[in-house]
Amino acid sequence: MSIIVSPSILSADFANLERDIKKVEDSGADWLHIDVMDGHFVPNITIGVPVVKSLRRITKMPLDVHLMIENPQNYIEAFSKAGADIITFHYEAVKEPIEIINKIRSYGIKAGISIKPKTEPENIIPYLKYTDMVLIMTVEPGFGGQTFISECAQKIKIIKQYGSKDLIIQVDGGINDKTGKICTDFGANSLVAGSYIYNSENIKQAINSLKN
Ligand code: DX5
Ligand code: ZN
Q: Please state the domain extents for the chain.
A: 4-211
Return the CATH architecture of domain 4-211: Alpha-Beta Barrel (3.20)
Query: What burial letters (b/e) apply to 136-153, b meaning 16+ CB within 10 Å?
Result: bbbbebbbbeeebbeebb
Closest ligand by atom to 7 CA: 1
Sequence-distant (≥ 6) Cβ neighbours of residue 10 within 8 angstroms: 33, 35, 46, 144, 194
Specify the ligand 1 atom closest to the Cα of 66.
Answer: 7
The protein residue with its alpha carbon nearest to ligand 1, atom 9, reads 144
The model's pTM: 0.98
By the 8 A CB rule, do 147 and 177 touch? no
pLDDT tens column, 191-209: 999 999 999 999 999 999 9
Q: What's the mean per-residue pLDDT of the chain? A: 98
Distance 48 CA to ligand 2 centre (A): 14
**Using CA atoms, how far apart are residues 54 and 130, in angstroms rounded to an integer?**
30
Triad 43, 47, 53: Cα angle to 5°: 160
Nearest ligand atom owner, CA of 86: 2
CA of 164 to the centre of ligand 1 (A): 26
Tell me which of 133, 139, 209 to substitute to probe ligand 1's pocket, judged by most ligand atoms within 8 Å of the beta carbon.
139
The string of pLDDT tens digits covering residues 89-142 is 999 999 999 999 999 999 999 999 999 999 999 999 999 999 999 999 999 999
Rounded to the nearest whole angstrom, what is the distance from the C-alpha of residue 147 to the centroid of ligand 1? 10
Query: Per-residue pLDDT averaged across 129-158, rounded?
Result: 98
Residues with a known catalytic role: 35, 172
Average pLDDT over residues 43-60: 98
Q: How far is the CA of 87 from the centre of ligand 2 (A)?
A: 11
Ligand 1 first shell, C-beta below 6 A? 8, 10-11, 33, 35, 66, 139, 141-142, 144-146, 172-175, 192-196
pLDDT tens, 16-36? 999 999 999 999 999 999 999
d(Cα 119, Cα 66) in Å, to the nearest integer? 17
Ligand number, closest to the Cα atom of 200 = 1
